[in-house]
Structure 1
Amino acid sequence: MDENKRTVTEDSKYIQQHLANERTFLAWIRTAIAIMGIGFLILNLHIKSATQSLSNMTVQIIGLLSVLTGVCTILFSTISYFQKAKQINEQTFRPSRSLILFLALLMLLVTFLFGYYFFVSLIGK
């Protein structure tokens, strides 16, 4: 048997699609890191600037939701990556509507809380 002969795998039929799937996964991971970073940033900025109790509670909720959203993004994007890899090979691709909707709702909640926090902090000054 020739050692240079390569075995064609199921994945090698759809190389471009698998590479695109990996790029999408990495983009989700970068997004998750950014979301968590925003939560930590607002916590650090708030600790240095204000002491209002309602504002403190809002900032803590924003920080917690940001970390939760980031963790959910990592978990769901990992699951989605493996599902997409299987679907690519089986040629049964389905978009991740529920994943997108869930993460969008979490981000809208975080964004709403950011707006509330900044509105309250502006009125308080």
Structure 2
Amino acid sequence: MDIQKESQTVDSKFIQQHLANERTYLAWIRTAIAIIGIGFVIVNLHFTLQDKISHTADLVAVFLGGLAFLLGTATILLSSFEYTKKRKSINQQTFKASHNLIMILSSSLVVCLIVMGVLYIIYVINKMY
């Protein structure tokens, strides 16, 4: 019986790093799915729970839902790019931790949350008067 010995790949030298990179990538994908889900929930709740819907409120709900969808899609695209870049840099032993993706996505989420909060406060104030 002839057993072939497989040659060692470059990836196999850095197994832990590659597995950590994959876990991080999957965490970003889960985050993107959650962001997109929040967008759908916003739109769905708005149109389901409102008795009387104003045109402005409809536009705001659709805008926020669309914004969440775009942010989730951007998260998927950027995380895929970062995963591929990190995979290559791990194999070449030139890995440098990047913070650009985290800063871009965190800033975008903060802006999204601020817009949602301000619009909600305006909506509540208008309902009171």
Structure 1 length-normalised TM? 0.91
Shift of 1:4: 3.7
Partner of 2:80: 78
What residue ranges of structure 1 are gaps of 5+ in the alignment? none
- RMSD after superposition: 1.4
Whole-Å Cα distance in 2 between the matches of residues 110 and 94 of structure 1? 29
Partner of 1:52: 54
Contact 1:59 1:117 in 2 (8 A): no
Contact 1:76 1:99 in 2 (8 A): yes
What residue ranges of structure 2 are gaps of 5+ in the alignment? none
Shift of 1:20: 0.3
Count of aligned pairs between the two proteins: 124
Whole-Å Cα distance in 2 between the matches of residues 86 and 9 of structure 1? 13
Whole-Å Cα distance in 2 between the matches of residues 49 and 7 of structure 1? 61
Residues 46-89 of structure 1, C-alpha deviation per residue, up to 9 Å, x if partnerless?
Answer: 01233123322221221111000000000011111110011111
Matches within 5 A, 1:39-118: 39-50=39-50, 51-118=53-120
Whole-Å Cα distance in 1 between the matches of residues 119 and 64 of structure 2? 9
Structure 2 length-normalised TM? 0.88
Whole-Å Cα distance in 2 between the matches of residues 120 and 54 of structure 1? 12
The list of structure 1 runs, each at least 4 consecutive aligned residues, that deviate by more than 4 angstroms after superposition, is none
Over the matched positions of the two proteins, sequence identity in percent amounts to 46
| 3-state SS in 1 of match to 2:9 | coil
